[in-house]
Amino acid sequence: MDALKITSTGTLNYHLKVLGELLEKNAAGQYLLNEKGKLAAQFLIEFPEQDGALQAKRKWWRRYWIVAVVLDCAGLLLVLSLHYLGYLDFAGMVQGIFGFFTALLFTFFFYRMIRPVNKTQTQAQKNQDRTIQDIFVSGITTQEVKEEVQRWINEEGITIEVERAGFVKGRLGIPSGLGLTAPKYFEVSWKPEQNGVMVHTEGWISLYDVSERSFSNTATVSGGIPRRKGWKVMENLWGRLSAMSK
């Protein structure tokens, strides 16, 4: 847990279960890579994943800032030229200059809000960007969990984006933040365990597919982003799952 910067034993246990086919335990109870796991690790080292989408977004933003600054400077020169030629009085010139600086300042704060995540960010910091919780539901089957999750989805009006065996991902709001508010995303996965089912839940707000923010049970709005609504949706699911335990 120290090496992975994970603070939750539930999160660690969940990911160990996901990697189940790649791991084995020795006599001392320590986790080790089996032959399949060693092959997978070697494959990842030889063919590392390239985060092309993130790099493309950063490149787009760099170009955007170059264009924004150039246009702002051109606008200022135009205002000063019109004033010098007598087409614009002093008050109009001041208003024009103020308007350009205000637009640039607004763009800067908007960028600060949704700027891409730094790739050197630790796993613990990344987990803070998502509302994560593991819930063990005793005495029930995976089919019962699936049905309850589906009832929760229907009740909250969540649009399903991805669904497969033991996993579902959905959202509230318009994708990519094209609406008035940033979309809220939810992931739920479940796996059978002895005498019950382990359910893993995640939720986050996506800012134009560039950055993510966690929900909050205290912060109503942060940087213009509503956060409590997502928390209440997650809390509804947690309550439903906890009530199912027998």
- For 89, residues 6+ apart whose C-beta sits below 8 A from its C-beta are 83
Q: How far apart are CA 72 and CA 44, in angstroms?
A: 45
Same domain, 101 and 39: no
Token pair, residue 197, equals 């089912």
Could you tell me if 158 and 219 lie in one domain?
yes
The angle, 0 to 180 degrees and rounded to 10, between the axes of the packed helices 52-84 and 90-114 is 170
How do the pLDDT tens digits run along the chain, 246 residues long? 777 777 777 778 778 888 888 998 888 888 889 988 888 888 777 766 555 555 666 677 778 778 888 888 888 888 888 888 888 888 888 888 888 788 877 777 666 655 555 544 444 445 567 888 999 999 999 999 999 999 999 999 999 999 988 999 999 988 765 555 678 999 999 999 888 999 999 999 887 666 677 888 887 765 556 678 899 999 999 999 999 988
The model's pTM is: 0.55
Nearest residue to 200 (alpha-carbon basis) of 152, 138, 135: 135
Let me know whether 133 and 200 are in one domain.
Answer: yes
Over the stretch 96-128, which tens digit does the pLDDT of each residue have?
888 878 887 777 766 665 555 554 444 444 556
Q: Amino acid letter at 159?
A: T
Residues 3 and 82 in one domain: no
Structure tokens at 211: 């950055």
239 and 192 part of one domain:
yes
**Same structural domain for residues 104 and 67?**
yes
Q: Encoding tokens for residue 61?
A: 């933003």
Residue numbers of the domain that contains 19? 1-51
Looking at the structure, do residues 224 and 153 belong to the same domain, yes or no? yes
Residues 160 and 201 in one domain: yes
| Residue reference for tokens 């803070």 | 128
Establish if 107 belongs to a structural domain: yes
Which tokens in the block code for residue 77?
Answer: 């020169």
Taken in order 144, 203, 236, 169, the sign of the CA dihedral is negative
Domains in the chain: how many in total?
3
For position 165, which CATH number holds? Answer: 3.30.530.50
What is the signed CA dihedral for 197, 203, 209, 213, rounded to 10 degrees? -140
Side-chain half-sphere CA neighbours of 184 within 13 A: 22
